[in-house]
C-alpha cells in the first residue's frame, strides 16, 4: 500500500514538469516535460520506416504526425477548430486560425507551425507550403475534480478539463472536396438498389 501510495504521488507530482525546458545548468541535463513516462501512440507513428520503393511506384507522400498533450481547453470546443481545418492546406489553416477568436486557435496554430518546422527539418519535405492537413483530432486529457462552492453551504463538483490535439500533415496539395450528395443522387441510388434485388431460391 505504501509503494502504491508513493507511485500515485509520483504520478501526480511529476517534478520534471516544474522546471522549464531550458534549464541553465550545463552539468545536469534534466529531462523536462518532453520525456513522458509513456510515449503516446501518435508520437510513435513518426517512427515507422517503410521499405524502399520500387523504381516504377509513384512517390509516397511524406506524412508528419504531431500532437500536443494536456492543453487546458475543452475537447468539445477544440473539436470545432479541428473540424474547421480538416482538409485545408496549411497556409489556409494558419490564416483561419490567426483570425479566430477562440483560445484553442492559438494553441493549434503553434502546433501546426511546429509540425511544419519538423516536416522541413526531419521529414525531407521540400516546400513548407506544400502540406495539407489529412487528419486533425482532439482527445480527452486528464480531468481533475474540484469543489465549486455555491450559496447557502451548497456545493457542486466541477471538472477541470484538459484535451489533447493531434494533427497529421501530408505533403502535396489538399485533395479536392468531394461533391455533396444531392437528393437526386440519393433517389437514383435507391432506385438502383431496388432494381438490383433478385429472388432467391427460385428459377
Partner 1 sequence: LVVVLSPLPRLRGLLQRCWGRLERGLLSGLFGSQSPPLGPALAVQAPVCLPQQVNDTGESSEAPSLLDSILWMAAPKKRRTIEVNRCRRRNPRNLIKVKTNIDVCPECGNLKQKHVLCGYCYAKVKAETRLIRMEIGKKEGGPLNAPPVETVVLYDGEKPTEKDEGKRIIERARKRPSWFVQD
- By CB under 8 A, is residue 9 in contact with partner 1? yes
**Residue 17 in the binding site for partner 1 (CB under 8 A):** no
Instruction: For strands 144-149 and 155-160, give the pairing.
Output: antiparallel
Is residue 135 a contact residue for partner 1 (CB under 8 A)? no
Half-sphere exposure of 196 toward its Cβ, with a 13 Å CA cutoff? 6
Name which of 42 and 73 has its Cβ closer to partner 1.
Answer: 73
Task: Answer yes or no whether residue 150 interacts with partner 1 by CB under 8 A.
Answer: yes
For residue 149 the three cell numbers come to: 462552492
Q: Does 156 interact with partner 1 (rule: CB under 8 A)?
A: yes
Residue 75 CA to residue 94 CA, distance in Å, equals 20
- Alpha-carbon distance of 172 to 138, in angstroms, equals 23
* Grid cell for residue 123: 521529414
Nearer to partner 1, 30 or 95 (CB): 95
Rule CB under 8 A: which residues touch partner 1? 5, 8-9, 12, 76, 80-81, 83-84, 95-96, 98-100, 102, 145-147, 150, 152-157
Amino acid at each position: 500500500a505504501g509503494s502504491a501510495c508513493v507511485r500515485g504521488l509520483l504520478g501526480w507530482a511529476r517534478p520534471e514538469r516544474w522546471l522549464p525546458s531550458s534549464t541553465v545548468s550545463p552539468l545536469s541535463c534534466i529531462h523536462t516535460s518532453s520525456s513522458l513516462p509513456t510515449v503516446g501512440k501518435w508520437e510513435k507513428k513518426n517512427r515507422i520506416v517503410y521499405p524502399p520503393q520500387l523504381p516504377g511506384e509513384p512517390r509516397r507522400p511524406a506524412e508528419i504526425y504531431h500532437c500536443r498533450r494536456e492543453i487546458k481547453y475543452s475537447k468539445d470546443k477544440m473539436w470545432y477548430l479541428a473540424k474547421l481545418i480538416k482538409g485545408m492546406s496549411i497556409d489556409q489553416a494558419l490564416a483561419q486560425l490567426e483570425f479566430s477568436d477562440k483560445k484553442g486557435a492559438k494553441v493549434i496554430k503553434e502546433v501546426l507551425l511546429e509540425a511544419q518546422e519538423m516536416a522541413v527539418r526531419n521529414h525531407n519535405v521540400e516546400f513548407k507550403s506544400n502540406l495539407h492537413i489529412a487528419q486533425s483530432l482532439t482527445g480527452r486529457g486528464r480531468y481533475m475534480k474540484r469543489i465549486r462552492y455555491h450559496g447557502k453551504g451548497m456545493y457542486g463538483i466541477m471538472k477541470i478539463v484538459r484535451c489533447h490535439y493531434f494533427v497529421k500533415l501530408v505533403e502535396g496539395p489538399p485533395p479536392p472536396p468531394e461533391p455533396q450528395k444531392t437528393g437526386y443522387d440519393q433517389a437514383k441510388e435507391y432506385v438502383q438498389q431496388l432494381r438490383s434485388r433478385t429472388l432467391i431460391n427460385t428459377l
